[in-house]
Amino acid sequence: MRQGIFLSATIVAALGVAGCGKTDDETSVERAFQDVNVVDETNLGDVMLTVADPNEAVAYFARTAKDNPDRIDVHRGLAISLVRAKRNAEAVAAWSRVAKMEGTNNDDAVDLADALIRNGEWERAEKVLDSVPPTHETYKRYRLEAMIADSNREWDKADSFYEIAVGLTTRPSGVINNWGYSKLTRGEFAEAERLFGDAIRQDDTLFTAKNNLALARGAQRNYALPVVPMSQIERAQLLHTLALSAIKQGDVQIGKGLLRDAIDTHPQHFEEAVRALRALERA
């Protein structure tokens, strides 16, 4: 520690001898400090993009972008942080700026399309993706293409894009779950059930896929719990989902029984299930 303090003092003293003009040595020292600062900023930026609170990251990158308006990496950091903070309209504006800067690339265009979809601007997102060369084949690009095809009810295209996206990632559980939900909305319940099962096999912590699996089974009037890994709380929640599916399809007595099971299973007070059961009993 003392050695570091002594070294810093020595450098400061050397810079203090500057006089009127700068020597080559002084210029080299300044450059060295600039390089160190760039490295430090890069490391801090990486931290901000991963472990920092999203809004703190937004504040950091906004401040840094103001001081370095031409640094595209800083503007990318700001755009990514805005997406993480769910400030979607601001994220669209930030990615739009990045897409116009020197050094922009196809990934930036895909990220702009992603921000547009999050902000509900589907038509504009589709136009942005259409501008990306077909040779740019990435998981994120095809996942977004599949979502847009879904929104346009272009089912064959959606299936094709989902299949490609699954093949381009080592963690396909999320996109398989989306594909299953697409099948669920089309009324293809058995196929949806199969895809949700695949998603859970890839990641057995994905509760969204477990809940969707219960919905797919309930839509087929199969009210038995799926055989998947689940905690006690998840079990109660899935019973609740199956109960609501049964009630929606007119199987009210089955729904009541499932609600009672959900209430008994949950380790705490299960307010939603209690409220639903009371409403049914009053009716």
Indicate if the pLDDT at residue 206 is higher than 90: yes
Q: Indicate the helix (H) or strand (E) that contains 1.
A: none
Q: What is the pLDDT of residue 195?
A: 98
Indicate if the pLDDT at residue 48 is higher than 90: no
Give every CB contact of residue 136 below 8 A, 6+ residues apart in sequence: 106, 110
Indicate if the pLDDT at residue 18 is higher than 50: no
Under a CB-based contact definition with an 8 Å cutoff, are residues 72 and 101 in contact? yes
Quick one: pLDDT band at residue 62, thresholds 50, 70, 90? very high
Residue 141 Cα distances to 70, 126, 163, angstroms? 26, 11, 13
Lowest mean pLDDT among 29-38, 132-141, 171-180, 244-253: 29-38
Summarised one tens digit per residue, pLDDT across range 65-115 is 999 999 999 999 999 999 999 999 999 999 999 999 999 999 999 999 999
